[in-house]
């Protein structure tokens, strides 16, 4: 949500500081990060701080749901290392303590340790994240304001809320999330408050830091604490009211709806258990296997586009066979084969394209009335142009099955009707059946008979400039 208070901050940010870029690393969400990748990036960042420091302020732009193999709370570890390196450089130069301003995705996880090592911390207030740039701007503007005014680090009030919910139930377009997040603005506008933020958290990691969070920062620690508890209480009180953003059901029920004689076209089915932008592997074949063995999708059935599964070898086999050729090749389940082995593609090669930089080459295999997209690499099909790049039109399809959670705007507009399929995979929306082992219990909705938790804020005191 846009705060008019921030309207002039872009100019202040541009003129207010000399920005020194250090490290930028990003990835399509996926599985766990290999320790060597994490350590390499961390080392590079710390070396850059030592090479370029000291700094007055540090802008830390993290998602917050990175899971590193063999490690808990990677973001707190990274932030602690950044803090130590910045302090070392400041001490060497006799310069003031560096302020760290962190910005996150509201689907990131926040531990007390992470909060302790930042001075300012905030996150998106909209899901889908239409306020991504606004949030980063706010984090930068607050950092510069504190530095210019010499007000040091504000107090931070942190509340852990023992609730873990999927993003598909907590879209801020709908109640109760809408109202809960709208309550942030008047709090943020209060005298003595710098920022107020609510994190839904990331439900598909399995760490003690997976839960919802509120952090309120401000120079009035008492007010920050009271407001943090107020926001946390509203989230806790609404815990049972969060519902899926669309009708949600198992695959069988969704197919019944999509195949009904009066079903609207195109009918979009969200294969939500393997959404590549939420962290799914993108090669779960469970849904595709169900469809190609279903006689309702025989030749002459409803034209059904299925996106997608990645398998480099299967794509190569299609290219070798050539356009229009008969093909019989296994595909997928190379990374995630928990629920289903490779799907046997037995049909004809319908399309062969170069795809794009994300997908690599793309083959479409026609099996009965199904057109299955196979890519070389993991690829979300969240825009119409993605399908066009695969050589397919979807506006005239009867059914479009796509690995996504809530529909991003283009697919939402495409769908004359849609359902969220509760399919298995790495980002299964049915959290209970995922079998978390490391989250702290009790936790809603895993433990239904919970007592009201203590939502008193933990206070990290203000640190005056020059301390």
Distances (CA, A) of 369 to 113, 399, 401: 53, 10, 13
Closer residue to Zn ion (CB): 108 or 332: 108
Give φ, ψ of 133 to 5 degrees.
Answer: -70, -40
To Zn ion, the closest distance from the beta carbon of 296 in angstroms equals 35
- Helix crossing, 132-149 with 9-16: angle to 10°? 60
Q: How far is the CB of 446 from Zn ion (least distance, A)?
A: 21
Task: Please name which of 255, 312, 305, 254 lies closest in space to residue 283, comparing C-alpha atoms.
Answer: 312
DSSP structural state of residue 147? H
Of residues 200-259, those binding Zn ion (CB under 5 A): none
Least CB distance from residue 107 to Zn ion, whole Å? 4
Residues 49-78 that bind Zn ion (CB under 5 A): none
Only one residue has tokens 């997976």, namely 210
Site size toward Zn ion (CB under 5 A) is 2
Residue nearest to Zn ion (CB): 107
Nearer to Zn ion, 132 or 416 (CB): 132
Query: What's the closest the beta carbon of residue 127 comes to Zn ion, in angstroms?
Result: 6
Site for Zn ion in 95-124 (CB under 5 A): 105, 107
Q: How far is the CB of 108 from Zn ion (least distance, A)?
A: 8
Residues 6+ apart with CB under 8 A from 104: 62, 63, 64, 110, 121, 122, 123, 124, 199
Closer residue to Zn ion (CB): 105 or 371: 105
Task: Confirm or reject binding of residue 156 to Zn ion (CB under 5 A).
Answer: no
Q: Measured between alpha carbons, how far is residue 154 from residues 13, 100, 263 in Å?
A: 20, 11, 55
Is the Cβ of residue 107 or residue 366 nearer to Zn ion in the bound state?
A: 107
Whether the Cβ atoms of residue 202 and residue 107 lie closer than 8 Å to each other: yes
Choose between 105 and 271: whose C-beta lies nearer to Zn ion: 105
How is residue 432 written in tokens? 């209970």
* Type and span of the H or E element at 99: strand 99-104
To the nearest whole angstrom, how small is the minimum distance from the Cβ of residue 28 to Zn ion? 13
Residue (109 or 375) nearer to Zn ion, CB: 109
Contacts to Zn ion by CB under 5 A = 105, 107
């Amino acid at each position: 949500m846009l705060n008019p208070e921030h309207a002039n901050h872009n100019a202040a940010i541009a003129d207010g500081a000399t920005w020194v870029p250090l490290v930028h690393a990003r990835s399509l969400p996926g599985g766990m990060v290999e320790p060597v990748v994490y350590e390499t990036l961390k080392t590079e960042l710390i070396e850059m701080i030592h090479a370029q420091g000291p700094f007055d302020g540090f802008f830390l732009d993290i998602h917050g749901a990175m899971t590193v193999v063999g490690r808990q709370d990677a973001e707190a570890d990274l932030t602690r290392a950044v803090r130590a390196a910045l302090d070392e450089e400041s001490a060497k130069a006799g310069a003031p303590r560096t302020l760290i301003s962190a910005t996150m995705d509201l689907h990131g996880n926040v531990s007390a340790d992470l909060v302790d090592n930042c001075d300012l911390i905030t996150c998106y207030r909209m899901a889908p994240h239409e306020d991504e740039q606004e949030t980063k701007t706010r984090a930068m503007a607050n950092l510069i304001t504190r530095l210019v005014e010499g007000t040091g680090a504000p107090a931070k009030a942190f509340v852990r809320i023992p609730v873990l919910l999927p993003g598909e139930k907590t879209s801020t377009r709908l109640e109760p999330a809408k109202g809960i997040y709208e309550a942030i603005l008047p709090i943020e506008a209060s005298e003595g408050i710098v920022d107020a933020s609510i994190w839904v958290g990331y439900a598909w990691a399995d760490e003690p830091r997976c839960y919802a969070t509120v952090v309120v920062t401000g120079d009035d620690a008492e007010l920050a604490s009271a407001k943090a508890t107020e926001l946390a209480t509203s989230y806790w009180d609404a815990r049972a009211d969060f519902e899926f953003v669309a009708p949600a059901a198992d695959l069988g029920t969704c197919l019944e709806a999509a195949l009904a004689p009066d079903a609207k076209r195109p009918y979009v089915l969200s294969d939500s258990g393997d959404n590549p932008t939420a962290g799914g592997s993108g090669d779960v074949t469970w849904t595709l296997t169900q469809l190609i063995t279903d006689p309702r999708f025989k030749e002459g059935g409803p034209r059904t586009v299925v996106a997608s599964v990645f398998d480099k070898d299967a794509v190569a086999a299609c290219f070798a066979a050539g356009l229009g050729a008969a093909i019989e090749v296994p595909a997928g389940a190379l990374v995630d084969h928990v629920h289903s082995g490779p799907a046997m593609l037995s049909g004809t090669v319908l399309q062969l394209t170069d795809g794009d930089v994300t997908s690599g080459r793309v083959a479409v295999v026609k099996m009965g009335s199904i057109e299955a997209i196979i890519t070389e690499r993991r690829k979300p099909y969240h825009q119409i142009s993605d399908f066009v790049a695969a050589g397919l039109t979807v506006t005239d399809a009867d059914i479009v099955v796509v690995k996504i959670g809530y529909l991003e705007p283009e697919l939402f507009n495409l769908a004359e009707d849609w359902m969220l399929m509760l399919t298995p995979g790495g980002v299964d929306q049915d959290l209970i059946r995922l079998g978390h082992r490391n989250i702290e219990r009790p936790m809603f909705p895993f433990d239904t008979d919970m007592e009201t938790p203590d939502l008193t804020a933990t206070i990290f005191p203000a640190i005056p400039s020059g301390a």
